[in-house]
Amino acid sequence: MHADPAGVLTGTHFLDGDHACCEGCLAAGARFASGYPITPSTEVVERFASRIPTVGGTFIQMEDELAASICLQGAVWGGAKAFTVTSGPGFSLMMEHIGYAAMTETPCVFVNVQRGGPSTGLPTLPAQADMMQARWGSHGDYGIIAICPNSPQECFDLTIKAFNLSEQYRVPVMVMMDEVVGHMTEKVVIPSADQLDVTPRKHTHKSPADYLPYQCNGDGSLVPEMAHAGEGYKFHITGLTHDERGYPNMTVKVQDQLVRRLCAKIENAKDLVAYEAENLEGADVVVVSYGITSRVAQRAIDQARAQGLKVGKLRLIIAWPFPEKVIRELAPKVKAFVVPELNLGQMVREVERAARGAAKTIHVGHAGGGVHQPEAIVKAIVEANQ
Amino acid sequence: MATIVQIDPTQQLDPFKSVKKIPTHEFFTSGHRTCQGCESALVMKMMVKAAGPRTIVLGSTGCMYVANTTYYSTSWVVPWMHTQLGSSGSAALGAAAGLKAQMRKGKMKQEPINVIAFCGDGGGADMGLGAISATMTHPDYNLLILLYDNESYANTDIQLSGSTPWGANTTFSTPGSVKRIMHHRWKKNMAGLMAVGHPTCRYVATICMSYGLHGMNSIRKALTIGGPTFIHSLDPCPKGWDYDPIQSHELGELAVQCGIWPLYEVEDGKLRLTGRTQQIADGKIPRKPVRDYLLRQGRFAHFTNDDLDYFQSKIDQMWTKWLIPGVIPFEKDLAADNPPA
C-alpha cells in the first residue's frame, strides 16, 4: 500500500540524518513514539514531537529507556506503528524489552544512533560498537533485523524499510545509525506518498472465534497474523514461552518449537539480504563496510584502485541477518576481506566465520571517536593484496 | 532488646549563624564549564562548602556531571564518583555501606564521612526515582540525596522531564499554531513523595540557593541528623528557562515568593515551613501572583491570560485546598469525615 500523505514531507530538503530518520518514521506511518533524551539521537524525537501536532499522533516523553522501549510496544498492540530512538547506554537499558518484542513478535523499530562506549563513553562522537549488541544483546535465542544507513537520504529510505520489515516479519528492527550519519546534513529527496510503499500490519482475517494469536497459517509462513487489543479477539501476550494460543507453556517441546520459529522466520527469509556491491568480479581484495565507515572506505577503495589494485566493495545495508552466503561464495575467489569499522572487531568476526578460512580477514578499526583515515584502509588493502 | 539498626555517628555540623560565618575555603572550584548564571553550579559549590572536606560526592549523569568533569578537568576538590543516570541512590547506598564495612573491620579509621549523591530532575524525579526510593528505606546508612532541579533535561538541550512545569516550552514540547500547550503534566511533588512514602527517611527539605544560608544550613542539618536524607533544590536555569543570566537569583526568590516553590523541612516526621514560605503562611508577607514569575521566562512566553489564570488557580489550590498547604495535596472532605457510630 502507499504511504499516508499526511506524514510525507514531499520535496527536496537539506536535513541531517536524525531529522531524515524522523521523516522516514512519519512516512512509514509511525504515529507513536516514546522517547527519552540521549545524545546523539534526541533530534529524531525532537522533530517528531514538533511535527506530530500537524500530522496527528502521539509523542510521549518517558522517564527512562526501559519505559520508552516497552511503552511503544503497548502502542503497537493498541494498533499503532511505533518506534523509539536511543544511543549507547539507552540501548543497553532497552535490551530486555527488545527481547520481549522478539518473543511476543511485536513489530516495532528501535533507532540506535551509535556513540563511543562502553558506559557513558563518547556521547557526542561516533562509533559502531553496538553491532553485536544489536544482534545478541537480549538474552536467549531470537532472530533480529538490523539496518545500517550511511547517509541522511538512507536514514529516510531505510527507516521506511525498517518499518516495512518489522511488519512483514513481526520482529523488532534496529536502525543502526552512528553519530556522524545522524548529525551530517545533506540533500534528502522525499518522494510523493504514492511512490512510497508501506507494508501494512499483518492483520488477521479470521473471526475472533477462529483466531489463535501465535498460529501460523500453514501456508509456509512462519509469521502469525496479528490482531489488536479492543477488537474483540482473545488476547494473552506474554514474555513467557507460549503456545499458539499465547498461553504460557513451558515444556521442552513448546520452547523448542517457538524459539526455533522465532529464529527461522528471520534466518530462512530470502529477502533479508541487502548490500551494495561494486567490482566484486575479479577482485583480489574486497572491502566489507557499513554505515559511515563505508563512505571512508569508498575513498580508500578509489585510491587503491588508482594504484592498480583489484579491489571490490561490499557495503552491508542489512547487517543482521548477516549475508553469510555472499561472503562464503566470494571467499574462495579473493585473497582477503578488509573490514573497517569503528570498533575493536565485531562484524569482522562474522566475515571471518562466513569465509571459513578460504580468504584472509583483516580488521581495520579503532575504539570510536572519529572516522577512519582512508590511508589506514588503503594500507590494509595493500597488505592484504600481498 | 537487641539493636537491630546500628547507625554510625555523623559529623556535627552546626548551622551557620550568618553569611559572615561561612568559611571561605572552596571544595568546588574552577574547572567547570557551566553556563553563565547556572544556579545548579551554585548549589554544588554551596552544598560541598556546607558539608566540608570529609565528604564524598557522587553524581548521576546530567548538567552537573557533564559540565563539571569533562575535557581534562574537574572542579571537585573532594573525592568524586560519577554514576549512571538512574543510579545516584544506589551508588550512595553502596558508598555509605562500603565505608561502614571498612570501618567496622578496622580497615579505615572510625570517623564520620559525609556521603552526598546528587542528581538532576531527570536522574532523580524520572529515571532514578526507584533507586532513590529504595535507598530511603535503608535506615542503616548515613547519606544525603540532593536533587538539583532545573526543570528539564538541560544537558541534552532542554527536553521536558517529570519535573518540568505545566505548559513550558521545551524541545519536546514546542508550542505552535496548531497546539499551544504541548506539555500537560504537572510537576512531580518529589519532596512530599519522599517524606510521605518513606518513614525511614529522617530528613526531607526543599531549598533554593537564592536563599543560600537557608540552603546550606538545610544541608548541614541533613548530614548531622544522618540516616537516609533527601533535599530538593529548585535551580533557575538561564538556558532552559530562557532569561537573562543576571536574573537567576531573582527568579529563585520569585519562585518561593509566588508560592510555586514552598520551602519546608520534615524532620523525623515533623513538618516545619521555613524561610519566606513560613512568612507567607503566617501572613507576614503576601504571596505574589505567579505571572510575576512566569512572564520573566521565555519558556512561558506563549502563555495566554487563560494559561496564566490556570497556573495561578493550581498554585492557589495548593495553598488553600491541600491537606497540608504546599506539601501534601490531599483534600480532606470534612463533611464526609464522620466515622460511623
**Interface contact flag, A63 B127, Cβ < 8 Å:** yes
Q: In the prediction, which pLDDT does A234 show? A: 81
Phi/psi of residue B243, nearest 5 degrees:
-150, 170
List CB contacts (< 8 A) between B168 and chain A: none
Check CB contact under 8 Å for B84 and A61. Answer: no
Distance from CA of residue B281 to its chain's centroid?
A: 21
Residue A59 forms contact with B (CB below 8 Å): yes
What domains can you pick out in chain A, each with its CATH number? Answer: 2-195 (3.40.50.970), 278-385 (3.40.50.920)
d(C-alpha A226, C-alpha A80), whole Å: 12
Contact: A120, B82; criterion CB under 8 Å: yes
Task: Please name every residue paired with A113 in a beta bridge, in sequence order, or none if there are none.
Answer: A177
The pLDDT value given to residue B83: 94
Instruction: Give burial (CB, 10 Å; 0-12/13-18/19+) of B249.
Output: middle
**How far does the CA of residue B180 sit from the closest CA of chain A (Å)?**
10
Predicted confidence (pLDDT) at residue B73 exceeds the cutoff of 90: no
What amino acid occupies position A84?
T
The whole-angstrom distance between residue A247's C-alpha and the CA centroid of its chain comes to: 30
CATH 3.40.50.300 correct for B19-303: no
Facing A61 at nearest CB: one of B85, B159, B174: B159
A96/B contact by beta carbon, under 8 A = no
Give the orientation angle of helix A374-385 with respect to helix A292-306, to 10 degrees: 50
Nearest residue of B to residue A60 by CA position? B172
> In 3-state terms, what secondary structure has residue B83?
strand
Q: Is the pLDDT of residue B3 over 90?
A: no
Predicted pLDDT at B2: 63
CA B83 to chain A, closest CA, distance in angstroms equals: 10
Does the beta-carbon distance from B162 to A63 stay under 8 Å?
yes
d(C-alpha A50, C-alpha B298), whole Å: 18
Q: Which phi and psi angles does A350 have, rounded to 5°? A: -70, -40
> On the CB side of A34, how many CA atoms lie within 13 Å of its CA?
21
Least confident window among A180-189, B156-165, B320-329: B320-329
Find where cell 555517628 sits: B9
CB contact under 8 A, A42 and B157: yes
**How far is the C-alpha of A44 from the C-alpha of A38, rounded, in Å?**
10
Cβ neighbours of B156 in A, within 8 Å: 37-39, 42
How far is Cα B287 from Cα B254, in angstroms, rounded to an integer?
A: 10
Partner-chain contact A42 B61, CB within 8 Å: no
Contacts of A36 in chain B (CB under 8 A): 127
3-state SS record for chain A: CECCHHHCCCEEEEEEHHHHHHHHHHHHCCCEEEECCCCCCHHHHHHHHHHHHHHCCEEEECCCHHHHHHHHHHHHHCCCCEEEEECHHHHHHHHHHHHHHHHHCCCEEEEEEEEECCCCCEEEEECCCCHHHHHHCCCCCCCCEEECCCCHHHHHHHHHHHHHHHHHHCCEEEEEEEHHHHHCEEEEEECCHHHCECCCCCECCCCCCCCCCCCCCCCCCCCCCECCCCCCCCCCCCCCCECCCCCECCCHHHHHHHHHHHHHHHHCCCCCCCEEEECCCCCCEEEEECCHHHHHHHHHHHHHHHCCCCEEEEEECEEECCCHHHHHHHHHHCCEEEEEECCCCCHHHHHHHHHCCCCEEEEEECCCCCCCCHHHHHHHHHHHHC
pLDDT at res. B41: 96
Q: Does B339 touch chain A (CB under 8 A)?
A: no
pLDDT tens, A39-66?
Answer: 999 999 999 999 999 999 999 999 999 9
Contacts of A45 in chain B (CB under 8 A): 172
Residue B53, pLDDT score: 96
Which residue blocks in chain B are alpha helix, DSSP H?
Answer: 39-51, 63-69, 88-104, 121, 129-135, 190-197, 212-225, 238-241, 248-257, 275-281, 291-294, 305-320
pLDDT in tens, B114-170: 999 999 999 999 999 999 999 999 999 999 999 999 999 999 999 999 999 999 999
| Residue B219 buriedness (CB in 10 A; 0-12 / 13-18 / 19+) | buried
pLDDT higher than threshold 60 for residue A224: yes
Q: What is the pLDDT of residue B20?
A: 95
pLDDT band at B338 (very low <50, low <70, confident <90, very high): low
With 70 as the cut, is the pLDDT of residue B340 above it? Answer: no
Nearest CB to B174 within list A49, A64, A119: A49
CA distance A139 to B134: 27
From CA B205, how far away is CA B265, in angstroms rounded? 4
Residue carrying the nine cell digits 511535527? A51
Instruction: Indicate whether B331 pLDDT > 90.
Output: no
pLDDT computed for residue B234 by the predictor = 98
Q: pLDDT tens digit string along A97-129? A: 999 999 999 999 999 999 999 999 999 999 999
The residues that bridge with A286 in the sheet, in sequence order, are A312, A337
Contact B174 A64 (CB under 8 A): no
Q: Is pLDDT at A96 greater than 90 in this prediction?
A: yes
Is residue B234 within 8 Å of residue B68, measured between CB atoms? no
- How does the average pLDDT of chain A come out, rounded? 96
Instruction: Please write the tens of the pLDDT for every residue from A272-324.
Output: 999 999 999 999 999 999 999 999 999 999 999 999 999 999 999 999 999 99
State the number of CA atoms in the 13 A half-sphere of A10 facing the CB. 10
Prediction pTM value: 0.94
DSSP helix/strand/coil, B317: helix
- A59 contact residues in B (CB cutoff 8 A): 172
Nearest CA to CA, how far is B163 from chain A (Å)? 11
Give the distance, in angstroms, between the CA of residue A257 and the centroid of all CA atoms in the same chain: 25
Distance CA B171, CA A290 (A): 31
Find cell 546528587 and name the residue: B118
pLDDT digits over B256-286, tens only? 999 999 999 999 999 999 999 999 999 999 9
Q: Which of A13-22, A229-238, A348-357, B43-52 has the lowest mean pLDDT?
A: A229-238
Residue B1 pLDDT exceeds 60: no
C-alpha distances in angstroms, B55 versus A67, A259, B11, B51, B115?
34, 52, 10, 7, 6
With CA atoms as reference, the chain B residue closest to A44 would be B172
Question: At B334, is the pLDDT very low, low, confident or very high (cuts 50, 70, 90)?
Answer: low
Q: Closest CB to B153: pick one of A37, A59, A89.
A: A37
pLDDT at B39 over 90: yes
User: What mean pLDDT do residues B193-200 have?
Assistant: 95
For residue B126, which residues of chain A lie inside 8 Å, CB to CB? Answer: 63-64
Q: How far is A328 from chain B (nearest CA, A)?
A: 42
Query: Does residue B162 sit at the A interface (CB-CB below 8 Å)?
Result: yes
- Say which of A35, A54, A89 has its CB closest to residue B178: A54
pLDDT of residue B32: 87
Instruction: Answer whether B84 sits within 8 Å of A119, measured CB to CB.
Output: yes
CB distance B182–A49 less than 8 Å?
yes
- CA B258 to chain A, closest CA, distance in angstroms equals 28
Chain A with chain B: Cβ pairs closer than 8 A: 53
Q: Residue B106 region, left (φ>0) first, then alpha (ψ -120 to 50), else beta? A: left
Per-residue pLDDT at B173: 96
Q: How far apart are the C-alpha atoms of B64 and B193, rounded to whole Å?
A: 24
- State chain B's mean pLDDT as an integer: 94
pLDDT surpasses 80 at B100: yes
